[in-house]
Amino acid sequence: MANLSSYDLHLSALSISADSRRAVEDLGFVRDEFANNRHCVASEYHATYRGDALLPNDALWDDVRRLLRHDVTFSGHLEEEQLCQRIIVPGSTVADGSIRLVPFILSDVLPGLHKACDIHLGVQIDAWSEKKLALLDELRMVSFEKPTADGVRRVYTITCESVSDGEVAFAALEHILSAVCDAPARMKLERTSRYLRHPSNAIGLPLVRADSLQAWLGSITFKSEGGLS
């Protein structure tokens, strides 16, 4: 039976040995097919745990962490995440196309540190107009594309220093989407419950720092009915 918990386990590597790839896949990881990465360094190998063990699982975490630490070629990240919020924002035929969005400021994560949470915003490219996709791109979030049964899906991501920052950004993005999207969009907020960054300066996704998030929030205003002005 496939794992159906509210937790996920992801592996992202800029470099990893073939033996380690085979070993993690024997444990239940499945390689993710991503393309067209933007505003980040693309990993050589990204995989998600799809095995039968219910997460969180201490033994599985320890096995994978030990395996990666013993791989002298490994540079990357292992993360366990817990789903905190998930919503679907419906498309609107009266979405406001006059809005101009201020981009997030992305920063490298200092050695030894890691994100506290991330927000993923997914859209089906074929369902969105080029104009609205271009508008969403103005936020300059990290993004990648992956094939699905319904067509190519583009996933936008931002990472935050704290869960409270993520909750604030999540609410702001929900308001933005309700004002701009002409087709449904899916959003979820995930808390980082365990994290391995090896070595301590391994390159990963850039971070939206607390101070830059506050500056970004201050650059947008909300109408009383919940839209943007």
User: Comparing 99 with 73, which gets the higher pLDDT?
Assistant: 73
**3 state DSSP class of 167:** helix
Task: Note if the pTM is more than 0.75.
Answer: yes
State the sign of the Cα–Cα–Cα–Cα dihedral 152, 158, 163, 169. Answer: negative
**So what's the pLDDT on residue 3?**
53
Residue 128: pLDDT over 50: yes
Mean pLDDT of 35-52: 94
Locus of tokens 């609410």:
171
Mean pLDDT of 47-59: 97
Q: What are phi and psi of 32, to 5 degrees?
A: -90, 140
Domain boundaries, the chain: 7-218
